[in-house]
Amino acid sequence: MSMTITEKILARAAGKTSVRPGDLVNAKIDMIMCHDVTTPPAISMLKEHQIDRVFDPEKIVVTPDHFQPAKDIKSAQLHKRLDTWAKEKGIRYYYPLGRAGVCHALLPEQGHIRPGEVIVGGDSHTCTYGAFGAFSTGIGSTDLAAAIATGILWFKVPASMKFVLNGTLPKGVCSKDVILEVIRRIGTDGALYRAMEFTGPALKDLSMEARMTITNMAIEAGGKNGIMAFDETTKAYLDGRLKGKTDYTVFQSDPNAQYVSTEEIDCGKLEPMVAFPHLPSNGKPISQCKGLPMDQAYIGSCTNGRIEDLRIAAGILKGKTVQIRTIVVPATPVIWKQMMDEGLSEIFYESGCVISAPTCGACLGGFMGILANGERCVSTTNRNFVGRMGHPKSEVYLAGPATAAASAVEGKLADPRNYLK
């Protein structure tokens, strides 16, 4: 029976020779991601039911990230509970403050993501890890509690959609622009509970950082997971990074695997994109929206806070002064140090940016960049819902790091291609 990558991974995890879309399976979990927002409620549920165990302390990765460093007493209490629990249960891969980072950047960087595995996390953007040829999806606190205790969850096997990325990305266009175009085409429910499988010649030229940006936003189209096939780029990223198990299974979709639809994108014709409020599907080419005044630029998050993103932004900001408040947030301490070692921190400082410690804070309207009534922010984050980054009457415009940096320089939505030689 022909199967897609997603179907093959779930079949392996369920101990079956084959599965098809719609099947219900009990799958063994290979890795669980825990952070400071959804894990404390899961811990409470386990205690309430007198379940005092974790299924495997070496298959759980814990990091505070949403409200770290703690912004108030409530977030400090969340961190204390997470810290106490991780130590009590002997969680091997616990990243406390100082080593903590934005979870979806931290886990791949630290070698916790392997192809062919089933990975879950108490965060909707856990679909990021599908860039490595893994089945990875977000879950709520109740399912998180069950996974922590048993290492098994049930899934309905999703049908797959194929997205063929053709051509070569023009200068000034990045993977964020690709996924914003995909979501513009199919809508925020266009892939509802489906596997979004990305393939095509344009993908081969993208780094792992760029690929993670695409799978990160699969959930913004309603996808159950985003996934890409393993290749030499994947292998090069993983070599020397993997912790513990260095052997893994690579799955590829069969040539005659079934897809509910196939969407072809000519990446060579794309412009930098901006998603207008209040949906990620409200994408517009920069040529149609440049000039709209902004109050803030935000460069960071689990979507675009990696070193590649910061290099892109610094390349545009070098020798220039920002006209609006601009916040730069490296996603992990390793990226923070790399940014400093490469001289990017100096560029951001000289241009007038604020540089933060790794945190998810502003992305979800927590802290470190909250918007006031009527303010507009061009942001490299992944959601622009009403009130997402602050006041209900503020507005968030999603864009790639190049567009955000160019807009910071001009104080309005700007075309980054004007800053490239």
Alpha carbon distance 272, 340 (integer Å) = 28
Judge if 77 and 208 occupy the same domain: yes
What the block records as the tokens of 200 is: 């095509």
Judge if 220 and 119 occupy the same domain: yes
pLDDT band at residue 421 under the 50/70/90 scheme? confident
Q: Is residue 86 part of a domain?
A: yes
- Does 246 score more than 90 pLDDT? no
Q: Given 3-state DSSP classes, what are the helix, strand and coil percentages for the chain, each rounded to the nearest 5?
A: 35, 20, 45
Q: Is residue 215 part of a domain?
A: yes
pLDDT of residue 244: 66
pLDDT of residue 420: 86
Judge if 28 and 80 occupy the same domain: yes
Distances (CA, A) of 47 to 88, 95, 105, 146, 273: 13, 23, 30, 12, 46
- Does 256 score more than 70 pLDDT? yes
Judge if 222 and 337 occupy the same domain: no
- Does 245 score more than 80 pLDDT? no
Q: Is residue 146 part of a domain?
A: yes
CATH number of the structural domain spanning residue 138: 3.30.499.10
Q: Could you tell me how many helices (H) and strands (E) the chain has, helices first? A: 14, 18
Judge if 317 and 372 occupy the same domain: yes
Judge if 210 and 338 occupy the same domain: no
The model's pLDDT over 25-63, given as tens digits with 9 standing for 90+, comes to 999 999 999 999 999 999 999 999 999 999 999 999 999
Judge if 231 and 276 occupy the same domain: no
Segment among 131-135, 172-176, 365-369 with least mean pLDDT: 365-369
The model's pLDDT over 323-379, given as tens digits with 9 standing for 90+, comes to 999 999 999 999 999 999 999 999 999 999 999 999 999 999 999 999 999 999 999
pLDDT of residue 240: 83
The model's pLDDT over 297-327, given as tens digits with 9 standing for 90+, comes to 999 999 999 999 999 999 999 999 999 999 9
Alpha carbon distance 136, 113 (integer Å) = 10
Mean pLDDT of the chain: 96
Residue 52: exposed, middle, or buried by beta-carbon count in 10 A (0-12, 13-18, 19+)?
A: exposed
Judge if 148 and 283 occupy the same domain: no
Judge if 226 and 289 occupy the same domain: no
Judge if 350 and 412 occupy the same domain: yes
Q: Is residue 12 part of a domain?
A: yes
| Residue-range definition of the domain harbouring residue 359 | 272-416
Number of separate domains in the chain: 2
Q: Is residue 256 part of a domain?
A: no
Amino acid at 16: K
Q: Is residue 394 part of a domain?
A: yes
Distances (CA, A) of 41 to 51, 72, 87, 114, 141: 14, 18, 17, 27, 6
Q: pTM of the full predicted structure?
A: 0.95
The model's pLDDT over 1-35, given as tens digits with 9 standing for 90+, comes to 899 999 999 999 999 999 999 999 999 999 999 99
Judge if 11 and 133 occupy the same domain: yes
Q: Is residue 262 part of a domain?
A: no
Judge if 93 and 219 occupy the same domain: yes
Rounded mean pLDDT of 158-182?
97
Q: Is residue 357 part of a domain?
A: yes
